[in-house]
């Protein structure tokens, strides 16, 4: 089913119109950051509502935080016809969608993404969930937001590290389905804030929607959107164990895209030149850490929980030239280890 997505200057006026429809009550989920920086602007467009505030950060994307949301909804008599508006980044959209999808067996929710990552990825396509037992998005539902409202004005409030993190998903979209856009990025290497505009956001949402509408439940082609995420999620979970070294999601995906581009190269999917171009773009935008040599076994173990695995085998989405991909590729462990070594060698 096509998801209603509103972008551009009129998006928040449209939100105003839709949120005033016949909902019995309206709740707005924010974290401390979006409450301070985004909510003051957003609330002008909303009918009477109750705010639900949670702590910011991936470490709070937990069942305990969801319980808090459900308690607040219950306390304020949220019902089947209440609306939850998720105002925030990937954590808020993923967890708010999950909380709404479970509460009273499902209430309508709307996403108002405020980070680049959420605008081009998390808010769109119906994946919701929480982290569990040290694994990313281990518990969740496919459950579409009733609508998504993207206003790039919110990006002005975002620290540079966050906006660059979101750019990883833009690069990913171009690597799997945007050869020309990738070439332009390689040639111009514009700063992220100069490059991102309504047209770029709309292009990225279109790439994602084309895939998610074909395969909403990730039985096949949607796995393309996981390019960079098999290594990326494992690396992100590994670094999450040490709060001082925490990586942002997009930073982990950037590392994952280098590892998985190397694997694509090592298995004949891309040329040396293409591998070099991908590294050139990623290292132009991202400042990334070394992966400690003794982390590799942990990372391999974390990969065993990847949701694309079949019969205990770690499956990758790999590139088949820039702008094209193959799914369900199982890879020898020694090639995965080589890919991490290759990544580290690029930092030397």
In the list 61, 127, 249, 308, the residue contacting ligand GLY (rule: CB under 6 A) is: 127
Contact criterion met (CB below 8 Å) for 252 and 117:
no
Residue 222 near ligand GLY by CB under 6 A: yes
In the list 94, 121, 236, 251, the residue contacting ligand GLY (rule: CB under 6 A) is: 121
CB of 244 to ligand GLY, least distance (A): 27
**Interaction with ligand GLY in 254-293: which residues (CB under 6 A)?**
none
Contact criterion met (CB below 8 Å) for 61 and 95:
yes
Which tokens is 31 given? 């974290």
What b-and-e string marks burial along 145-179, b requiring 16 or more CB atoms within 10 Å of the CB? bbbbbbbbebbebbeeebbbbbbbbbbbbbbbbbe
CB of 99 to ligand GLY, least distance (A): 18
Site string for ligand GLY, 227-256 (x = CB under 6 A): ------------------------------
CB of 172 to ligand GLY, least distance (A): 9
CA distance 255 to 136: 16
DSSP code at position 123: T
Contact criterion met (CB below 8 Å) for 27 and 78:
yes
**Which residue in this structure is represented by tokens 């957003």?**
42
Residue closer to ligand GLY, measured from CB, 47 or 220: 220
CB of 341 to ligand GLY, least distance (A): 27
In the list 78, 96, 101, 125, the residue contacting ligand GLY (rule: CB under 6 A) is: 125
CB of 226 to ligand GLY, least distance (A): 6
Contact criterion met (CB below 8 Å) for 203 and 288:
no
Binding residues vs ligand GLY (CB under 6 A): 121, 125, 127, 222, 225
């Amino acid at each position: 089913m096509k998801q209603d997505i509103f972008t551009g200057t009129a998006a928040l006026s449209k939100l105003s119109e839709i949120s005033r429809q016949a909902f019995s009550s309206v709740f707005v989920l924010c974290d401390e950051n979006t409450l301070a920086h985004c909510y003051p602007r957003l609330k002008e467009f909303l009918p009477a509502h109750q705010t639900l505030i949670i702590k910011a950060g991936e470490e709070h994307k937990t069942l305990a935080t969801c319980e808090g949301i459900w308690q607040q909804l219950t306390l304020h008599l949220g019902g089947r016809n209440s609306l939850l508006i998720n105002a925030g980044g990937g954590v808020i959209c993923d967890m708010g969608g999950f909380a709404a999808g479970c509460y009273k067996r499902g209430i309508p929710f709307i996403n108002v993404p405020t980070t680049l990552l959420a605008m081009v990825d998390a808010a769109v396509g119906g994946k919701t969930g929480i982290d569990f037992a040290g694994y990313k998005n281990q518990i969740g539902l496919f459950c579409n937001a009733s609508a998504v409202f993207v206003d790039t004005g919110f990006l002005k409030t975002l620290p540079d590290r966050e906006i660059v993190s979101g750019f990883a998903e833009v690069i990913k979209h171009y690597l799997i389905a945007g050869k020309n856009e990738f070439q332009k990025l390689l040639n111009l290497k514009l700063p992220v804030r100069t490059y991102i505009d309504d047209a770029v956001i709309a292009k990225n949402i279109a790439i994602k929607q084309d895939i998610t509408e074909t395969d909403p439940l990730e039985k096949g082609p949607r796995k393309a959107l996981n390019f960079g995420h098999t290594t990326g999620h494992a690396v992100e979970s590994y670094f999450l164990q040490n709060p001082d070294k925490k990586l942002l999601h997009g930073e982990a995906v950037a590392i994952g895209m280098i590892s998985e581009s190397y694997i694509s190269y090592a298995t004949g999917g891309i040329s040396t030149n293409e591998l070099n171009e991908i590294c050139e773009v990623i290292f132009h935008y991202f400042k990334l850490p070394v992966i400690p040599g003794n982390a590799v076994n942990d990372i391999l173990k974390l990969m065993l929980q990847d949701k694309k695995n079949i019969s205990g085998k770690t499956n990758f989405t790999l590139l088949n030239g820039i702008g094209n991909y193959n799914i369900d590729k199982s890879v020898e462990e020694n090639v995965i280890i080589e890919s991490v070594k290759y990544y580290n060698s690029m930092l030397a």
